[in-house]
Structure 1
């Protein structure tokens, strides 16, 4: 799970090129995605549309999904805060330029919200919008 945590950002997320993921890691991400879709009740088509570059239309279910996904990846704590150190450590196993990742983290890591779901969704949305490197393409 360590190597693909940043596929965050299916991003959603984590943040890495598909070529850096093994089949086992891709299956692990798929499992997490499916678990979080079920737990949140979000429409799977919405998640797939976002993954494909579609618009992000926020609601409570998508916020729950975002937080669930980030927490299961180990990059969001239960209180909603983002574990920057975990992201940076896990990114070492990817081809993401550390400078670009740090740029995105600076813009996204301090985002708040009323609860862990909203914080996760704010960070998730920020990563999607701010990254300029491939994510699971």
Structure 2
């Protein structure tokens, strides 16, 4: 199955790789635009995050990231991480073992409000790098 990816919109793509269909790219673009509007984050901050400059102390960026992972379905309405969704949306470039390692390392991510989504994105990003090296 083609991946929509584990983390969040464009940064998810940057972190976990490409391989998205045009339809998936369009959906991610819609999520990005919607979450920028909902969170009030500066689009420049979002572009910097795309380059890997993720400031988890930026509340608006944290809310943007949280919004994205919720829209993708990785964090459900109750604020819990849905690992079945995350695993199903993992890119085909990751092996089951790599996905399991990321899940093991990120399953206890905590945070209240928007911070949980931001912490999850940060954990995915950090662990994605470690499983591919």
Give the TM-score category using the shorter length. Answer: 0.7 to 0.9
TM-score by length of 1: 0.80
Give RMSD over aligned pairs: 2.3
1:45 aligns with 2:44: yes
Unaligned runs of 5+ in 2: none
**Aligned counterparts of 2:12 and 2:83: Cα–Cα separation in 1:** 13
How many corresponding residue pairs? 130
- Helix, strand or coil: the match of 2:12? coil
Instruction: Give 2:80's aligned residue.
Output: 81
TM-score by length of 2: 0.82
Q: Deviating runs (4+, > 3 A) in structure 1?
A: 2-5, 9-16
**Aligned counterparts of 1:16 and 1:113: Cα–Cα separation in 2:** 23
Contact 2:6 2:86 in 1 (8 A): no
Distance 1:10 1:52, change over 3 A: farther
Please state how far the C-alpha of 1:100 moved relative to its aligned partner.
Answer: 1.4
What is the correspondence of 1:1-137 to structure 2 with a 5 Å cutoff? Answer: 3-6=2-5, 8-10=7-9, 12-13=11-12, 16-18=16-18, 20-91=19-90, 94-115=92-113, 117-132=114-129
Distance 1:113 1:97, change over 3 A: same
**Aligned counterparts of 1:24 and 1:40: Cα–Cα separation in 2:** 24
Distance 1:85 1:126, change over 3 A: same
**Aligned counterparts of 1:68 and 1:120: Cα–Cα separation in 2:** 8
